[in-house]
């Protein structure tokens, strides 16, 4: 037993020694960096993490490895990063699922802004509000009028309780003063099926996945959710311009690191990620996929996250009982 314990101690010391050396920013990264994605493989977070990881590996001459740790609405993978050594070798791909979780999951083992530090945002993707063609409303104002005339009679589908899609719907209800019943589904595929089949009247979904169904006339697009129109559906007005001023709900992604990660490393990563996001090929590819690069310094990104946490907390407090 003793030799085993001794060699284990040796190993621990070696690891400690290594991590001690590598904290210096100019040497970073000296070994592979792990980006933990707390969502399922093949989802947008996973795909964009892989694209960013690929470019970072090329630029910093050290491999950035994507590690999917899905489960429990991103809590499993996120707690792992929160507990990881703050040496810059473990990063987290996060999204606004995290900012919503801050309010709806108060008992999780970490707190986003207490246990993690912002590194850099990656991108945001627009959503689109669609209705089944049998709904008489042709525009957003007509739809709001319809919902107000029949409070509690219309339904909207989402990919699940507490998801950004659900939040986007609740935000719409709150800002437009309408009462529409939330019907949660397991994943956005099932929800889309319900709207195309006419079982549910409305849903808010990713603009890229919905665009073909809009073009085929299976659903009618009433508005996109960003501050400006989407390159994927340029003829569709934003919800804000079509009748709900101040409305904005997108899906955004960003990178965070464990609290205590040296500032120099955070800054270095931020600069490198910005270089990736400014590439022309990235801009063009992502535009086709309905995603727009987001550029911010770590401090600005921190502010952005805080504001988002606050935005959803307020909304959930307002419609609280209905969420849970």
Partner 1 sequence: MTGTAIADLIHGFGVALQPHNFLACLIGVLMGNIVGVLPGMGVMAAISILLPLTFAMPPVAAILMLAGIYYGAQYGGAICSILLNLPCHPPHAVTCLDGYPMTKQGKGGTALGITMLGSFVGASFGITQMIFFAPILVSIALKFGPAEVCSLMLLGLLAGSTLARGSALKGIAMTTFGLLLGIFGTDVTTGLERFTFGFPELADGIEIVGLALGLFGIAEFMKSVNKVEPLKAGYAKVRLRDMRPSRTDLKMSAFPIMRGTLIGSLCSLIPGTGPTIASFVAYATEKKVSKTPERFGRGAIEGVAAPESSTHSSVQGDFIPTMSLGIPGDSVMALLLAALTIQGITPGPQLISQHPDIFWGLIASFWVGNILLVFLNVPMIGLWVKLLTIPYKYLYPSALFFVCIGVYSTNNSLFQVGETLVIGVLGYVLLVLGFHPAPILLGFVLGPRFEENFRRAMLLSRGDLKVFIERPISAAFLTVCVILLLGQLYVRWRSRGRVVTVDAIAVEES
The answer to whether 117 and 147 are in contact (CB under 8 A) is no
**Which stretch, 20-28, 74-82, 256-264, 306-314, contacts partner 1 (CB under 8 A)?**
74-82
Q: How far is the CB of 63 from partner 1 (least distance, A)?
A: 13
Contact call for residue 61 and partner 1 (CB under 8 A): no
Query: How far apart are the C-alpha atoms of 308 and 303, rounded to whole Å?
Result: 9
Q: Which is nearer to partner 1, 149 or 321 (CB)?
A: 321
Q: Treating both helix axes as pointing N-terminal to C-terminal, what angle do 298-323 and 263-277 enclose, rounded to 10 degrees?
A: 80
Place of tokens 């464990």: 258
**Which stretch, 91-99, 143-151, 206-214, 293-301, contacts partner 1 (CB under 8 A)?**
206-214
- 181 cis-preceded (ω within 30 degrees of 0): no
Question: Of residues 34, 56, 68, 87, which one binds partner 1 by CB under 8 A?
Answer: 68
Contact call for residue 132 and partner 1 (CB under 8 A): no
Contact call for residue 42 and partner 1 (CB under 8 A): yes
The answer to whether 213 and 191 are in contact (CB under 8 A) is no
Number of residues engaging partner 1 in binding (CB under 8 A) = 54
Contact call for residue 69 and partner 1 (CB under 8 A): yes
Question: Of residues 209, 297, 306, 319, which one binds partner 1 by CB under 8 A?
Answer: 209
With CA atoms as reference, report the closest residue to 23 among 88, 84, 83. 88
**DSSP letter for each residue of 75-92:** HHHHHHHHHS-SSSSEEE
Task: Supply angle C-alpha 102, 225, 182, rounded to 5.
Answer: 60
Contact call for residue 106 and partner 1 (CB under 8 A): no
Contact call for residue 233 and partner 1 (CB under 8 A): no
Contact call for residue 108 and partner 1 (CB under 8 A): yes
**DSSP letter for each residue of 132-154:** -TTS---SHHHHHHHHHHSTTT-
Contact call for residue 289 and partner 1 (CB under 8 A): yes
Residue 238 C-alpha from the chain's centroid: 20
**Which stretch, 11-19, 65-73, 167-175, 239-247, contacts partner 1 (CB under 8 A)?**
65-73
Query: How far apart are the C-alpha atoms of 34 and 62, rounded to whole Å?
Result: 11
Q: Which is nearer to partner 1, 45 or 265 (CB)?
A: 45
Question: Of residues 27, 61, 186, 245, which one binds partner 1 by CB under 8 A?
Answer: 186
Query: Which tokens hold the place of 113?
Result: 């802004």
Tell me the Ramachandran region of residue 260: left when phi exceeds 0, alpha when psi lies from -120 to 50, beta otherwise.
left
Question: Of residues 63, 141, 179, 184, which one binds partner 1 by CB under 8 A?
Answer: 184
Q: Which is nearer to partner 1, 208 or 270 (CB)?
A: 208
Q: How far is the CB of 276 from partner 1 (least distance, A)?
A: 15
Residues that bind partner 1 in the complex, under the rule CB under 8 A = 40-44, 46-47, 50, 67-73, 75-76, 79, 104, 108-109, 155, 160-162, 181, 183-187, 189-190, 192-194, 196-200, 208-209, 211-213, 215-216, 218, 285, 288-289, 323-324
């Amino acid at each position: 037993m003793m030799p085993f314990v001794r060699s284990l101690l040796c190993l621990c010391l070696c690891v400690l020694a290594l991590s001690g050396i590598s904290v210096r920013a100019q040497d970073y990264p000296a070994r592979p960096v792990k980006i933990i994605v707390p969502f399922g493989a093949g989802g947008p977070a996973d795909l964009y993490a892989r694209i960013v990881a690929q470019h970072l590996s090329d630029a910093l001459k050290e491999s950035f490895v994507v590690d999917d740790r899905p489960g429990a609405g991103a809590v499993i993978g996120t707690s792992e990063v929160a507990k990881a050594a703050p040496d810059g070798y473990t990063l987290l791909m996060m999204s606004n699922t995290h900012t919503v979780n801050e309010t709806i999951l108060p008992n999780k083992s970490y707190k986003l802004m207490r246990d993690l530090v912002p590194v850099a945002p990656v991108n945001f993707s627009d959503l689109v509000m669609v209705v089944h063609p049998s709904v008489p409303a042709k525009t957003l104002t007509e739809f709001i009028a319809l919902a107000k005339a029949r409070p509690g009679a219309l339904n909207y589908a989402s990919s699940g309780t507490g998801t950004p899609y659900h939040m986007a719907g609740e935000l719409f209800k709150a800002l437009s003063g309408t009462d529409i019943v939330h019907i949660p589904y397991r994943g956005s595929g099932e929800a889309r099926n319900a709207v195309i089949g006419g079982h549910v009247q409305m849903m808010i979904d990713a603009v890229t996945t919905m665009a073909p169904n809009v073009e085929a006339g299976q659903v009618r697009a009433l508005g996109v959710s960003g501050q400006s129109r989407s390159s994927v559906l340029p003829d569709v007005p934003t919800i804000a311009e079509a009748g709900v001023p101040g409305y904005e709900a997108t899906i955004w992604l960003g990178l965070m690191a464990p609290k205590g990660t040296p500032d120099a490393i955070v800054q270095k990563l931020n600069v490198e990620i910005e270089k990736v996001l400014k590439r022309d090929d990235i801009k063009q590819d992502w535009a086709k996929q309905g995603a727009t690069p987001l550029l911010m310094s770590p401090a600005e990104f921190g502010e952005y996250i805080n504001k988002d946490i606050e935005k959803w907390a307020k909304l959930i407090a307002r419609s609280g009982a209905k969420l849970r």
